[in-house]
Structure formats: structure tokens, C-alpha cells
A = this chain, B = another copy of it.
């Protein structure tokens, strides 16, 4: 049984959808992508992250970091400093999201430039 062109294209399309759905499930919510974006510049401590991600409450940050850890994207290490500090960093799997983060960031920059250009014209 040979599939025709339309079948193949619909298959590709269906896989595409499933892949998008899967990714977005892991990255669901308002904060996860921003957290990963912050960590993509290197490890950060809890309070440091809270400072970077303006508007996030400690509770949310804590919960989202736990989610990300559960999904193997982020690693949590308690450092025996005094007072103790906790370092969060991306796992290699977390780093594999870099192309996604970059694409989002790039688009945001273009978007921003467009807005600025629009304002200058007016």
C-alpha cells in the first residue's frame, strides 16, 4: 500500500503538530522559557534568577524550577558556602533548547525594532 503525496504531507503535518504539542507541554506557563533563557547565560543562584526575571514571585520561581528539574532540563546544586547558596544550571538536555530560545529571542528583537521604526515614522 503506497501512500500518495497528500497522505505524506498530512503525516508530516501531524508529526509536526505532535512535536509542537510535546515541546509546549514541557515549557508550559508564563515563566519556564524565561527561566531557561536566563540560565542559558550560565548558572545562577535563586535570588539572582529572581532579580533577572522581573515580576516573578518566589513561590512561582520555586515551583517552576522544580518542574524543570523533574523534566531533566535544569539541575539544582546546594553549595556548601556560608550562608549556603543554591546553584541552578541547565543540563545538557536543557541546553539543547538553545535553538528554541534563540529563535524566540531573535524574533523578539526584530519585533522590537519594528515597533521602534513604527514609532519614529509617526
Contacts and interface: CB of A to CB of B under 8 A. Distances in A.
Interface of A: 9, 13, 15-24, 26, 28, 30, 33-34, 37-38, 41, 52-53, 96-97, 99-112
Each complex incorporates copies of this chain amounting to 2
B96 A19 contact: no
B30 A34 contact: no
| A contacts with B: majority SS | helix
Contact of A24 (B16, B21, B104): B104
Contacts of A19: 104-109, 111-112
B30 A28 contact: yes
A120 to B, nearest CB: 18
Contacts of A111: 19, 22-23, 26
